[in-house]
Amino acid sequence: MRRMAILTSGGDAPGMNAAIRAATRAALAQGWAIFGVRNGYAGLINDTLQPLGAREVGGIVQHGGTVLGSARSAEFRTEAGRAKALRNLAQRGIDALVVIGGNGSQTGSHALAQAGFAVVGVASTIDNDIVGTDTTIGVDTAVNVTLEAIDRLRTTGSSHQRAFLVETMGRHCGHIALMAGIAGGAEVIAIPEFDIEPHEVAERLRAAYQRGKTHAIVVVAEGAKHNAQAMVQHFAEHRDAIGFELRLTTLGHMVRGGIPTAADRVLATRLGAAAVQQLARGEHGVVVGTRGLAIATTPLAAVAGQTKPVDLTLLELARVLAQ
């Protein structure tokens, strides 16, 4: 009987629990023994694994975060750390692993696969920057949490003739800011992939004010060259440049913590089950994701250390529509 482990790694993403549930129950349907790894790759090194059954993963599909926990592991990045993780898996007779996580997590998956272990990754990150998949677990929820904040701020901004800077997550990738900014009708969107200077932001806000707009929204990814704090400082020194009174709202980690949307629950369920199906067919060393409406796989070697760029044509579209 095959013995399989499941872990979640890196930043948590809404929908991870649905993927854990699906992978567990799909594997049980194969007659396999399942183990949950506590706190990501650190759990492999510390041998903190627990058996999972159908009941252990019941009632979790609607919860954000991950019931298995997640943690960074500097030790796992070393050859000695990975060797220890593999020894622990071997001592328990575990011969397959499902890794639910983003780019860094799948780089770890690739390292285990290179050592000959059967690993399948599940694309899960709110940044949606994994190569080879159209979307990842957690993206839909994160964008909708950000959009809800934008909509609420637009209401109060209109009442008081204010502009709001909304800083959302996105240290290296601006997907959340871009999608939520477009959906929320933001006047300006600032992302790490495309530099926009504070004076240009000021010009766009001033133009909106002169066109008679009663409010304005600037959505800024935290990793933008000029982040929200830098822009606030600039505008404090050039108050007359924008027309509007300005306020800052930093969303921070609340973007991660939303109740997963139906789209994320369904996606996570499909990907979790697909990971097990890959292993059942004897196919591993890949990440499962989507292309169009279909489940698709990408070799871990093509994913590890890579990031998928955002579509900058959408940034130009947002600029045109903000006029």
| Residues carrying an active site annotation | 127
Q: What Å distances lie between residue 226 and 194, 207, 221, CA to CA?
A: 10, 20, 9
CA distance 226 to 230: 6
Q: What type of residue sits at position 312? A: L
Neighbours of 158 (CB within 10 A): 13
Q: Which of helix, strand or coil describes residue 133?
A: coil
Q: How many CA atoms lie within 13 A of 75 on its CB side?
A: 13
Nearest Cα to Cα of residue 139 among 323, 11, 320: 11
Question: Does an H or E element contain 177, and which?
Answer: helix 175-183
Nearest Cα to Cα of residue 182 among 194, 174, 173, 192: 174
